[in-house]
Amino acid sequence: MTDKSTAGPQAKSSGLNSLTRLLPYAKPFWPSFLGVLLLVLVFNATTVLQPYLVKVAIDSDIAARHPNLHGLFQIALIYVGVVVASVVANYLQLILLQYTGQSIIRKIRLDLFTHIERQSMAFFDTNAIGRLVTNVSNDTETVNQFFTGFFLSLIRDGLSVVMIVIAMFELNGRIAAYAMVLLPVISLISLLFRKRLRQAYQTTRTRLSNIVAFLAENLAGMRITQIFRQERSQMGRFQALNEAHRQGNVREYGISVLFNRVLELLGNVAVAAIVWIGGGAVLHGTILFGTLYAFISYIQRFFQPINSITQQWNTLQSAMVAAERMGGILSVEPAIADPDVPDTRLTEHKDEVAGQIHFEGVSFAYKPDQPILHNLTFSVQPGEFIGFVGATGAGKSSIMSLLTRFYEPNEGRITLDGVDIRSLRQADLHSLVGLVQQEVYLFTGTVADNIRLFRQEVKDEEVVAAAKTVGAHDVILRLPDGYQTKLFAKGANLSMGERQLISFARIVALNPRVLILDEATANLDSQTEELVQAGLQAVATDRTTLVIAHRLSTIRQANRIFVLDKGRIVEEGTHEQLLEHKGLYADLHAKSGIAYERSEVGTT
């Protein structure tokens, strides 16, 4: 296994840059941060005050020549008050900071998601979904820890150290000066450990994300794993990944614990030194006993914030890595953007859109050196029913991806009712041009939710009407809860055909002016297909319909059929004309006819 180290000097500085670029998200919350700061001040002041109060009790009330019981009681009362104030301040500060951090993260997460949603399909060709999920869920949470944990520690613990140092110098400058010898020693130890800690930390993170990636991939492909009986070998790989993670984690923990124990040891040695030096001073009468007590108390408290700050290094490290990953996504401008001044002529009167389509000299390639469509020119008249046929990989789906503007042509232009689709808002284009694909995507929710696709303005009657049009109504009523049947995991509780019918109803409910079906009936059994065919006729009557069909019978009735070969339209005409032409279509028809009859024989 390879542990990619992201800890190069370049990665570090760009990580820091990415983190600072996220700071504007915190800006609107400055009053909250100010509140936290005030609460931290109260908390720190009350904490530093505690040993001092005990010192006063010892020196002026207990060890004084005239012990003062009344004064002692007063101090005890004040002490309780201070402790209560400290607890309350600490509580409020933690809650406020968490609230603020989560508010910031909510905004970042929302922006990240919106940004990803705006990307063109080319973006999703190169960014694995699993990674994007991690970005939106985990990375944002890690950055939250930066805004809460790191920020808090820096202020609270930094302030603690400063206040304790001041308190010590107030008590006795000479002993305080001795105590300052600790600072360089602590720095040295921290330096020695820091690099190791960082490396160990990053190793563990990488190994953990390996586990997550493995899990995501395997759970999604569980069917294949079981069919090929790869459970055991996958188990072995998973075990290896887990073992690597365990070792990394234990090592990281070990280094971190050792570091803390070394600091603890140093702290206790320091206490011993203070007992020795301060104790001598007490015996010589240069300081009071209570002062010695306070010193010991402060030295002990001195190490706690330092410990806590060093632990925040990890948070900073991971926050930088996370911020960099998010920055990487946020900096990708969508390849396909809406025009600054969109053309709204078509959407203003959606019902009047005729659905005339022109492809004018359109060429297209997914990758620069692999052209897919070559100088394509064709027109579709309003209300026409057009079939597209051609071998797998001929470029049929790619044409539709251009028409829906998931991708942009490299050359030429596409117009809808004479308007270049690039001058439309993408949302508007998609309300005019609807697409059903072979691969159906259903969301978690009810059948009705999936037909209206969560658009509340689509009424129940419209949902039912849409389902009736495509012949899905009876099928849906047969489901356990009819339209209210809950769908899970992309509709795994439905058959392929049922899913496809719901997707048809969904597009009919959208009521687009141009309807594209991309091998949408391939999943249906012949009986259901007949049902859908009838529905299709109804749907197709008052709109332009483009149908890519696997079974040629689906498009027999088409006004015209385009035959595609290697990104070019090589034949065009009605079913009869093309058969007479005895070209590619006639060939395809001859083959599919045989295949069709065979499958008919096979299934009945």
Ligand X SMILES: Nc1ncnc2c1ncn2[C@@H]1O[C@H](COP(=O)(O)OP(=O)(O)O)[C@@H](O)[C@H]1O
| 398, interface contact from Mg ion, ligand X, none, CB < 5-8 Å by kind | ligand X
Residue pointed to by tokens 């946020």:
330
Least distance from C-beta 120 to ligand X, angstroms?
Answer: 11
**Residue 532 near residue 521 (C-beta atoms within 8 A):** yes
Residue (of 313, 401, 339, 376) closest to 567 by Cα position: 376
Q: Which is nearer to ligand X, 248 or 395 (CB)?
A: 395
Q: Compute the radius of gyration of the chain from its Cα atoms.
A: 36
Tell me 494's DSSP state: S
Residue with smaller CB distance to Mg ion, 550 or 556: 550
Burial of 442 (0-12, 13-18, 19+ CB in 10 A): buried
Tell me how far, at minimum, the Cβ of 396 lies from Mg ion, in Å.
Answer: 5
- Contact (CB, 8 A) for 421 and 429: yes
Query: Residue 565 and residue 592: Cα distance in Å, rounded?
Result: 17
CB atoms near residue 119 (< 10 Å): 17
Question: How do 560-565 and 385-390 pair as beta strands?
Answer: parallel
Residue 523 found at the interface with Mg ion (CB under 5 A): no
CB of 427 to ligand X, least distance (A): 22
**Which is closer to ligand X, CB of 296 or CB of 399?**
399
The residue (of 206 and 397) whose beta carbon lies closer to ligand X is: 397
In the 8-state DSSP scheme, what is residue 485? P
Between CA 253 and CA 370 the distance in angstroms is 51
CA distance 267 to 299: 7
Output the smallest distance, CB 518 to Mg ion, in A: 6
CB of 547 to ligand X, least distance (A): 13
Residue closer to ligand X by CB (options 357, 376) is 376
Question: Which residues in 571-597 are b (16+ Cβ under 10 Å) and which e?
Answer: bebebeebeeeeebbeebbeebeeeee
Nearer to Mg ion, 397 or 545 (CB): 397
Which residues in this chain contact ligand X in the complex, by CB under 6 A? 125, 366, 372, 390, 392-398
Residue 440 beta carbon to ligand X: minimum distance, rounded to whole angstroms: 17
Shortest distance in whole angstroms from residue 443 CB to ligand X: 23
Q: How far is the CB of 562 from ligand X (least distance, A)?
A: 12
How far CA 354 is from CA of 350, 381, 418, in Å, comes to 9, 8, 10
Name the segment binding Mg ion (CB under 5 A); options: 9-17, 143-151, 389-397, 409-417: 389-397
In the bound state with Mg ion, the residue whose beta carbon lies nearer, of 317 and 397, is: 397
* Partner whose binding site includes residue 452, from Mg ion, ligand X, none (CB under 5 to 8 Å by kind): none
Q: Are strands 385-390 and 433-437 parallel, antiparallel or unpaired?
A: unpaired
Q: Does 544 bind Mg ion (CB under 5 A)?
A: no
Closest CA to 548 of 435, 380, 433: 435
Which of ligand X, Mg ion, none lies near 149, with the C-beta cut-off 5 to 8 A by kind?
none
- Report, in Å, the least distance between residue 410 CB and Mg ion: 20
Measured from the CB atom, the residue of 203 and 397 that comes closer to Mg ion is: 397
Instruction: Report the relative pairing of strands 370-380 and 560-565 from DSSP bridges.
Output: unpaired
- Residue closest to Mg ion, measured at CB: 397
Site string for Mg ion, 391-420 (x = CB under 5 A): ------x-----------------------
Cβ-based burial of 275 (10 A; exposed 0-12, middle 13-18, buried ≥19): middle
Query: Which one, of 1, 72, 541, 480, lies nearest residue 243 by Cα?
Result: 1
Cα four-point dihedral sign 358, 363, 365, 368: negative
The closest of 536, 572, 535, 529 to 550, measured between CA atoms, is 529
Question: Which CB atom, from 292 or from 372, has the smaller least distance to ligand X?
Answer: 372
414 binds, among ligand X, Mg ion, none (CB under 5 to 8 A by kind): none
At 481, give phi and psi (nearest 5°).
-115, 25
If the CB atoms of residues 218 and 375 are measured against ligand X, the closer one turns out to be 375
Residue in 575, 530, 521, 590 with CA at minimum distance from that of residue 385: 575
Residue tagged 């069909």 (tokens)? 549
The CB density around residue 55, as the number of other CB atoms within 10 Å, is 22
Count of residues near Mg ion by CB under 5 A: 1
Query: Smallest distance, Å, CB 387 to Mg ion?
Result: 14
Residues 271 and 300: beta-carbon distance below 8 Å: yes
Give me the least distance between CB of 376 and ligand X, in Å please: 12
How far is it, in rounded angstroms, from Cα 448 to Cα 506?
Answer: 9
Query: Smaller CB distance to ligand X: residue 319 or 514?
Result: 514
3-state DSSP helix/strand/coil % of the chain, to nearest 5 = 70, 10, 20
Instruction: Between 390 and 491, name the residue whose CB sits nearer to ligand X.
Output: 390
In the bound complex, what is the minimum distance in angstroms from residue 371's beta carbon to Mg ion?
A: 17
Q: Which residues bind Mg ion (CB under 5 A)?
A: 397
